[in-house]
Amino acid sequence: MTSGIVLAIERGSLHDGPGIRTSVFLKGCPLKCLWCHNPESQSMKPIVFKVIDRCQHCGECIKVCPNNCITLDGIDRSLCTICGQCVEACNNSALEIKGTNMTVDEVMKEVLKDKAYYQASGGGITISGGEPLLQWKFSSKLLKRSKELDIHTCVETCGFGTAEHIAELAKYTDLFYYDIKATKLLHKKLTGVDNKIILDNLGILNELNAKVVLRCPLVPGVNDEESHLLNIAALAEQYDSVVEVHPLPYHPLAESKRRSIGMDKSDMPKDFATKEEYQKWVDILKANTTKP
C-alpha cells in the first residue's frame, strides 16, 4: 500500500482553497526558498522540532538520549536517529517529531471526519507541503481516493517536477494553487532552482484545461519589483486556465521555526509586509490583468 511522509494534517483550514478544508502537508521540497514559511518541511526525513518557548532546560531529554546528541545548547542532528526518547521524556511538550509515515487509508480516515463540512461549504482536501510533486505517487492516490468519495481537491505546488507527474496529479485535481516566486534572474538565487520547469508545467496545466490560481509570495525589497508583478500579470493573461491571482504578503514568523530545527538565521526582512506595500502589489496586478 502506498505511503508517504506527512508533516501535519490540519482540519478546519480556511486559507488553502475554497470552503472549509483539511490540509495535508507533506515533507520534502526541491526548492529552498530563503523566506520559506515551513522550513521543517524542506527535508523528506523526519526531524526533531524544539518548541523553544516551552523548554524549561530541565535536562531530562539529555539523560535519555542514547546517542548523546542533545545538550542545553541544542541538538547535534548528525547523530540523531529520531528514536523519540527525548520527546517522551519531555514534560513540557517542548520536543516534537515532525514527519510521520502514513498510508493513504490513514490520511483519508482523518480527511473523512469533516466530510459534512466540505459538502456544506464547498470545501475539501488540499495537498500541500513541502511539495506534493516530490511525493507524486502518494499525492496522486490521495487525490484519486478523494475524487472517488466526491471530495473537492486542491493542490498547492511550486510546479517543480516532471511533466508526467504534474499531468498525473491534474487527473484528480479540481484546483491548483500555483506559486510564481520570482523572475528568471532572481529565481535560482532565491530558491536554489531555475524556474524553466515551473513555467513549462504551468503551460502543461493550461493544455490540460486545469483550473489554476497563481500565487505570488512577495518579500519587500527582495522579489516585489514591478517587473516581477508585470510578469505574473502577463502569465495570467496568457493562460485561460488561470482564474485568479493572489499576492501573498511576507511575514517573518518562520525565523523561530528555523531556530527550532537548528537552521541558521536567514537574511530576510524581520518585519511584516505593510498594508501600503500589499496595496501597491494589488494595484499593479489589477492594472495589468483582467483576472481577479
The kind and range of the H/E element at 273 are none
What span, in angstroms and rounded, lies between the C-alpha atoms of 155 and 161?
13
Which residues are CB-neighbours of 172 under 8 A, at least 6 positions away? 140, 143, 144, 146, 147, 153
Secondary structure class of 101 (helix, strand, coil)? strand
Confidence of residue 1 (pLDDT cuts 50, 70, 90): low
Give tens-digit pLDDT for 9-29.
999 999 899 999 999 999 999
The dihedrals phi and psi of 220, each to the nearest 5 degrees, come to: -55, 130
What is the gyration radius of the CA atoms in the chain, in angstroms? 20
Model confidence pLDDT, tens digit, residues 246-268: 999 998 888 889 989 988 888 88
Mean pLDDT for the stretch of residues 131-137: 97
Q: What is the mean pLDDT of residues 73-93?
A: 93
Strand partners, 156: 177
pLDDT at 201: 98
For β-strands 74-75 and 70-71, DSSP reports them as antiparallel
Q: Could you tell me the three cell numbers for 284?
A: 499593479
Q: Give 141-200 pLDDT, tens digit per residue.
A: 999 999 999 999 999 999 999 999 999 999 999 999 999 999 888 999 999 999 999 999
Look at residue 42 and tell me whether its pLDDT is greater than 80.
yes
- What does the chain come to in residues? 292
